[in-house]
Amino acid sequence: MSVTLTATDGRIIGERAAATRRRLLDATVKLLNTEGVLDLKVVDITREAGAAPATFYQYFADLDSAILALVDDATEDERPLAAMLDAPWTTAADWVRCREFVDAYGVYWNDHQRVITLRNLRADEGDASFRGARVRADLLIIRKMADMVRASQEAGRLPGLLDPFATAAGMRAMADRLFQHEASIRLRGTTREGLRTTIAAILFHTLSGIAPPVSG
C-alpha cells in the first residue's frame, strides 16, 4: 500500500518533504473540523501548518487534489470495516458481531466525517473525481451488505420485494446520518449506547431478517 509521493513538478520527494505534505493534510482536516466545509482556504491551511502559501503548491495542484488525498485515506480505513462483513449474520448469536461492527463504524465515521461530507457534496455536484471516489468507497461496504440481503432472501428470512442494493445503500445512509447527528440526538435523551444499539438493531433485522435479542 506504500505509494511513491511526487511533488507537483514530478520530483520524487524525500522524508522531510513527505512530512511537510502530511502536515498540510493534517491542517486541512483540522480546519474542516473547526471552520467547516464551506470556507476552506489554501491560505488558511498553510498558516495552520506553519508554512508559506507557496509550499502548498509544491505538493498539490489545488485544493481539490489535497481533499482527494484525504478521501483516499478515508477509503483505506474502510477496508477493515468491510472485512468485518465477510461472514454474514445468520443466527441470533451474530448479534454480537453486528454490535462490534457498529462500534468500529463509529470510530471510522468520527475520524473522517467532514472529509466524507465534502466528498459527497462534490460528488453530488457532478465532479467526476469525487464521484469515482465515492462509488469506490461505497461499494466496499454496500456490496457486502447487499450480499447479505440476497442470502437472507434466499433463506426465506427477508421478503423478495426488497432490492438488495437499495436496501444496503439505505442502511449505510442510516448509519452515517445517525453518527453524524449523534450530538443532537443525544440532546433528546438518547444515550450513546442506546443510539448504537438502535443502529445495530435496525441493521441486524433489515440485513439478516432475524429479530435482535430482547435486551441489547
Partner DNA sequence: TGTACATCAGTGAACGCGCGTTCACTGATGTAC
Q: Which residues bind DNA (CB under 7 A)?
A: 7, 11, 13-17, 19-20, 41-44, 50-58, 62-63
CB-based contact 130:71 (threshold 8 Å):
yes
Secondary structure (3-state) at 12: strand
| Residue 50's binding partner out of DNA, a copy of itself, none, with CB under 5 to 8 Å set by partner kind | DNA
Q: What are phi and psi of 12, to 5 degrees?
A: -80, 135
Residue ranges in 116-145 that form contacts with a copy of itself under rule CB under 8 A:
117, 121-122, 124-126, 135
Q: Which among 76, 41, 38, 47 has a CA at the least distance from the CA of 62?
A: 41
| Cell reading at 115 | 472529509
Give the C-alpha distances (Å, rounded to integers) separating 87 from 3, 65, 92, 94, 155.
30, 36, 14, 10, 15
Stretches 9-17, 22-30, 81-89, 157-165: which one binds a copy of itself (CB under 8 A)? 157-165
What amino acid occupies position 170? G
Among 26, 106, 181, 208, binds a copy of itself (CB under 8 A): 181
Helices (H) and strands (E) in the chain, counts: 9, 0
What amino acid occupies position 94? D
Between residues 73 and 127, which has the closer beta carbon with respect to a copy of itself? 127
Among 101, 185, 208, 210, binds a copy of itself (CB under 8 A): 185
Residues engaged in binding a copy of itself (CB under 8 A) = 35-38, 117, 121-122, 124-126, 135, 159-163, 165-167, 169-171, 173-178, 180-181, 184-185, 188-190, 194-195, 197-199, 201-202, 205-206, 211-216
